[in-house]
Structures are given as structure tokens and as C-alpha cells.
């Protein structure tokens, strides 16, 4: 059974159609990389898959559950890393992660493990508002993977990270056997290299959907012209 199955998905914001007739299928362990200019519908697609937005037309199944009817049954099996860190700025990184650990019934030892792995343990008890954007992004990565989700939804996951930080987060969000991911990217070379399938969106519509071997960097660049 596919981890993600979408048929004829449409989503509107008022009169504006953000997604129109989008269909795709993603098997367990695969990575789908989504390209497209700003406003193409990439983030909207992630938010629908994360159960945060309802489709207005079409069908969506995630981890075998139809959305939105059974969204409650899969929310704890999905990890979302969006443009916003979804963390409380007045709390420390440790307090934020412990809060999410209790929500997901995860042992608190997992929090300490991730803080150490991501190089945050030295500043884990300072308010998030005092940390750099790169450190906040690392904390957001920790939140997204804290409960070891079956499906990772990643929107520009390496934004604000320097090369050393990318090395720290890569084992947690990068390609790995059995790890199913949907990634929004603006990096044709890097995105194609880690994709099993490539989806190109333009104005909410599917401009291309192919296996990695059948997509060129030039085609991806053409989406932005």
C-alpha cells in the first residue's frame, strides 16, 4: 500500500486555486522532491498531507488513512518541518522538545539524545528567542523527528543551516532505507540527487511528475522561468 496516494487534489484559498488536479503516489522508503516557484502550491501540498488543510476536491490517503476523515489516526505518525519552527520562542529548546515528547508519549531521554546529536546541548536551556536562526532550525528538526515518524514532510529543511549543521541534521532527515519523505526544494542539483520521484508544480498544477532518472536539471530550471 502506498504511503501517500493523491488523486485529483484541489485546494483553494477563497477564489484562488492553490492546487488543481494534483495526483501522485509514493511508496514506503521513497523520496518525492517537489519543485516550483514561490506560490506554485508546494507548501499547500505539504500542509494537506500533514492533515493541517482539508482538500476541496479529489482524494488523499496518507499511511492508509483517507483525509480528512481519519486524519486523527495518522497525525502522530507524520513529522512536519515547515518554514515556521512550530516552537515557543519564550521556552528553551529543551522545554519545547519535552512538551512535544509528552504530546507524543516519547521518553524524555529522546530529547537529550537529539539535543546532543544536533549540537544544541550547550545552549538547550536558553530561551529560543536568544538563539540564531540556524540553531532554531536545528531545534525544529529535532521536533519533527522526535517521535520517529513514518512519513517526513520537509519544506526547505536545510534553510539557515551552515555546512557543519547540515552534517548534523543529515542522518535525521536525509535519505535512509525505509525513510519516506516529501521535500519541497529550490535546489535542482541537490533535490534531484536525493529523489526517487520529482514533482514540478506551476500555478498549482502538475508541470512534470517523473522518476529521477528521467528528469534533467534544465527541466527543473524551466519551472522558474
Cell numbers placing 95: 522545554
pLDDT band at 220 (very low <50, low <70, confident <90, very high): very high
**Residue 73 clears pLDDT 90, i.e. is over it:** yes
Full set of structural domains in the chain with CATH: 4-222 (3.40.50.300)
Residue 106 CB coordination number (10 Å): 16
Residues 6+ apart with CB under 8 A from 102: none
**C-alpha of 175 from chain center:** 13
As a whole number of angstroms, the distance between CA 88 and CA 128 comes to: 7
| Mean pLDDT (whole number) for 182-208 | 96
According to DSSP, the β-strands at 4-13 and 57-62 are antiparallel
Strand-pairing partners, residue 153, are 80, 182
pTM: 0.96
**Residue 178 clears pLDDT 90, i.e. is over it:** no
Amino acid at each position: 500500500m502506498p504511503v501517500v496516494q493523491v488523486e485529483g487534489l484541489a485546494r483553494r484559498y477563497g477564489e484562488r486555486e492553490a492546487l488543481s488536479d494534483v495526483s501522485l503516489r509514493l511508496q514506503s522508503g521513497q523520496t518525492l522532491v517537489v519543485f516550483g516557484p514561490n506560490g506554485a502550491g508546494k507548501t499547500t501540498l505539504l500542509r494537506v498531507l500533514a492533515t493541517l488543510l482539508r482538500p476541496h476536491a479529489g482524494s488523499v490517503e496518507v499511511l492508509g488513512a483517507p483525509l480528512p476523515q481519519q486524519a486523527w489516526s495518522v497525525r502522530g505518525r507524520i513529522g512536519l518541518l515547515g518554514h515556521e519552527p512550530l516552537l515557543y520562542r519564550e521556552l528553551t529548546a529543551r522545554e519545547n522538545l519535552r512538551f512535544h515528547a509528552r504530546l507524543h508519549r516519547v521518553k524524555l531521554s529522546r530529547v537529550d539524545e537529539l539535543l546532543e546529536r544536533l549540537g544544541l546541548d550547550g545552549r538547550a536551556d536558553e530561551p529560543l528567542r536568544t538563539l540564531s536562526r540556524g540553531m532554531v532550525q536545528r531545534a525544529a528538526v529535532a521536533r519533527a523527528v522526535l517521535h520517529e515518524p513514518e512519513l517526513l514532510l520537509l519544506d526547505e529543511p536545510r534553510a539557515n543551516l551552515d555546512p557543519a549543521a547540515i552534517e548534523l541534521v543529515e542522518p535525521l532527515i536525509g535519505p535512509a532505507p525505509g525513510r519516506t519523505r516529501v521535500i519541497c526544494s529550490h535546489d535542482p542539483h541537490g533535490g534531484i540527487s536525493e529523489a526517487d520521484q520529482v514533482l514540478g508544480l506551476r500555478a498549482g498544477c502538475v508541470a512534470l511528475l517523473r522518476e529521477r532518472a528521467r528528469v534533467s536539471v534544465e527541466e527543473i530550471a524551466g519551472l522558474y522561468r
